[in-house]
Every structure is written in structure tokens, then in C-alpha cells.
Amino acid sequence: EAQVTQNPRYLITVTGKKLTVTCSQNMNHEYMSWYRQDPGLGLRQIYYSMNVEVTDKGDVPEGYKVSRKEKRNFPLILESPSPNQTSLYFCASSLSDRHGYTFGSGTRLTVV
């Protein structure tokens, strides 16, 4: 089944403890993105990648890192999480900008 898989689905962590949210797609898509969703703010892009080893900042990249060492994986790294990073995170992938993104099921992160 064609899909974007994120893990974990839920995560509660403490301030400053490094974490990684994994994202993998099995559709051979070039484009991958990370978004965060907050009430009243919609989806805001954190980072995106249009090819292996190519990543760019989105609208809200502060406090996040990504890597794209291979086409299928695009992990999101929070080196020192803070409470304002408590949010619902989505990974998405696409063949191109005209195809629309396929979204993962989301990761609900709480930083205390």
C-alpha cells in the first residue's frame, strides 16, 4: 500500500531531551515536507526537500533539523525541545508540485 509512515504517533517528552520523529514513504517521491499544525494557525511548513541531500527551510524552521540521506526517509530532529514545540506534526511526500502531497497520520508531540 502506498503510504507515508510516521513514528511515533504520540510522544511526551521533557524540555531539552533530544528526539527524532521518523518519516518514510514507499512511493519513490522526490518531494518531502514537514508541517506542524496548531489551532487557528493551520499548517505551517518546517522544512522541505525536493531531492536527496537537498533541504530548505520553510516558514518555521527554528529549533528543528532534518536530513535527506536517501529518497524514502526524511526524519525530523528536535535537538533541544521546548514547550512551544508542542504540536501536531505531519510528514508528507509528493511526486512533484503539481501532484499534491500524500500525508502521514501525524505525530502528536507534547513537551513538558
- How many CA atoms within 13 Å lie on the side-chain side of 107? 28
The single residue among 12, 54, 56, 83 that binds other proteins, judged by CB under 8 A, is 56
> Which residue, 15 or 56, has its beta carbon nearer to other proteins?
56
Q: Are strands 10-13 and 107-111 parallel, antiparallel or unpaired?
A: parallel
Main-chain phi, psi angles of 68, to 5 degrees:
-135, 75
Residue placing its CB nearer to other proteins in the complex, 18 or 67: 67
Q: Interacting stretch for other proteins, rule CB under 8 A, among 10-18, 20-28, 70-78, 102-110?
A: 102-110
**CB distance 46 to 58 below 8 Å:** yes
Q: Which residues bind other proteins (CB under 8 A)?
A: 31, 33, 35, 40-45, 48, 50, 56, 58, 90, 92, 94, 97-106
